[in-house]
Amino acid sequence: MNRREFLTTTAAIPALSVAPGETQTAPATGGAADRAAWVAVMQRLADPVLKNLAAGTLKAKMPVEQAANSDRRGVSHLEAIGRLLAGLAPWIELPPDATPEGKARGEYAALARRAIARAVDPKSPDYLNFTRERQPLVDAAFLAQGLLRAKSALRDSLDPAVKAQVIAALESTRVIAPPFNNWLLFAATVEAALAALGAPWDRMRVDYALRQHDQWYKGDGLYGDGPSFHFDYYNSFVIHPMLVDVLAVCREEMPAWKELDARVRERAARYAAIQERLISPEGTFPPVGRSIAYRFGAFHLLAQTALRRALPEGVTPAQVRGALTSVITRCINAPGTFDADGWLRIGFCGHQPGAGENYISTGSLYLCSVGLLPLGLPPSDEFWSTPAQPWTAQRAWSGQEFAIDHALAT
């Protein structure tokens, strides 16, 4: 089955339907088929963004759908490439090989490098905005995450002149002062990428973000978005993943950071367990909080935890694969998700313009790619090779035994 056939014929994974006490296995979907489906989704997301930016036609070709009372045309293009690369990076970091997927990875890695070169070249028609308005700090940080997640394919493979321009672009975002909330982590992630690129970096920006988030921790794996707690998905969109990625680069720099790293990883594992339980037997999840137009990007943290092989006890890779496959399939197959030219459209399940706040535009939507992070695990990994297993909500709602949930005490 080719990619187009998959995307037009695959239905959402059905819920388990058994009487209480009966034994039921997960739906008959193999890891190889699931992986092929995920790769097809990643390619569908990546194609319009990477191919146009690599050709210098992103600004000319990308539509900018947005709220009627906003103008995001100056920032949406960096959103698209930064967010896409944050999700794409682990997949293209796997070395190319002779398989069709392996060849595709090599092609997309080369496309990504050409796209980055266009984005940071002042002479390019697609030279992107890293300094005007506040939004570029956010998407420079997602671009930075992509660089951190693809050391060989991106960071170490950039032409020296392009690398210098990337460093200059990241440094230029320092003119943007982050507000006193999760945005502190955008500044910290930019600095972590500069450190990884071998450039001078500001330890104070990193330290400030790490210490404040430690103070904003509310308990049971959840941080406040600033001093206040918000019931939304920002613990997954931004907070946990960026804390983990920043400390992976910087934890050895200061004893306090190394000590914090253990707490951050424990809290991330706890929130990953909560996220797995949020996925219903039908592959849905609650449309609560802001930024729900990021779709299955809401599971950034669960996907990252699977990629890191750091899932909590009682949460198996196979059940996470099943749960995420179900969510991804429902989102991607919803009518109206893409326009006629293959660009994402605003919505939670399909095309729902009202689901986008005034800061949401076409480029914003590509944060959904981070739900595909486990593609960075090779096909032989347990995540892909283990037979499908029902996830927690499937077990619970079909009368099977399932693990009782417990809060994290610290």
Share of the chain above pLDDT 90, in %: 91
As beta bridge partners, residue 407 has none
Lowest-pLDDT choice from 78-82, 295-299, 386-390: 386-390
Residue 409 domain-assigned?
Answer: no
Question: CA 336 to CA 338: how far, in whole Å?
Answer: 5
Contact predicate 154/113, CB 8 Å: yes
Q: Is residue 31 a part of any domain in this protein?
A: yes
Q: Does the structure show a pLDDT above 50 at 258? A: yes
* pLDDT score, position 24: 35
Q: Which alpha helices (H) appear in 173-309, and where do they start and end?
A: 183-196, 203-215, 234, 240-250, 255-278, 300-307
The greatest distance separating any two alpha carbons of the chain, rounded to the nearest whole angstrom, comes to: 67
Domain contains 17: no
Mean pLDDT of the chain: 93
Rounded to the nearest 5 degrees, what angle is found at the Cα of 189, between the Cα atoms of 185 and 194?
150
Q: Is 217 helix (H, G, I), strand (E, B) or coil?
A: strand
Quick one: pLDDT at residue 278?
98
pLDDT for the residue 30: 85
d(CA 382, CA 31): 9
Q: Which long-range contacts (CB under 8 A, 24 or more apart) does 348-352 make?
A: 348/287, 348/292, 348/293, 348/295, 349/295, 352/293
Please check whether residue 405 lies inside any domain of the structure: no
Q: Report angle CA 284, 289, 294 to the nearest 5 degrees.
A: 60
Phi, psi of 307, rounded to the nearest 5 degrees: -60, -40
Domain that includes residue 122, residue range = 3-12+27-397
In a domain, 156, yes or no: yes
Best CA proximity match to 327, nearest among 13, 2, 60, 86: 13
Q: How far apart are CA 387 and CA 382, in angstroms?
A: 9
Residue 74 is assigned to a structural domain of this protein? yes
- Asked if residue 139 has pLDDT above 50, the reply is yes
Residue 17 pLDDT: 33
Is pLDDT of 124 > 70?
Answer: yes
Residue 1 confidence (pLDDT) above 80: no
Q: Where residue 169 sits, what CATH number does that domain have?
A: 1.50.10
pLDDT score of 14 more than 50: no
Q: What's the average model confidence in pLDDT over 49-58?
A: 98
Q: How many domains does the chain have?
A: 1
CA angle 336, 338, 342 (to 5 degrees): 150
pLDDT (0 to 100) of residue 5: 38
- For the segment 334-386, what is each residue's pLDDT rounded down to a tens digit? 999 999 999 999 999 999 999 999 999 999 999 999 999 999 999 999 999 99
d(CA 267, CA 277): 16
172 in Cβ contact with 205 (< 8 Å): no
Residues 57-62 have a mean pLDDT of 98
Residue 224 resides in a domain: yes
Nearest partner of 235 among 217, 227, 248, 223, judged by Cα? 223
Three-state secondary structure call for residue 312: coil
Cα–Cα distance between 41 and 295 in angstroms, integer?
13
What integer pLDDT is reported at residue 410 of this predicted model? 81
Asked whether residue 20 is domain-assigned, the answer is: no
Give the tens place of pLDDT for each residue, 89-113.
Answer: 999 999 999 999 999 999 999 999 9
Digit-coded pLDDT (tens) for 18-28: 333 333 333 43
User: Using CA atoms, how far apart are residues 293 and 236, in angstroms rounded to an integer?
Assistant: 14
Convert the pLDDT of each residue in 149-180 to its tens digit: 999 999 999 999 999 999 999 999 999 999 99
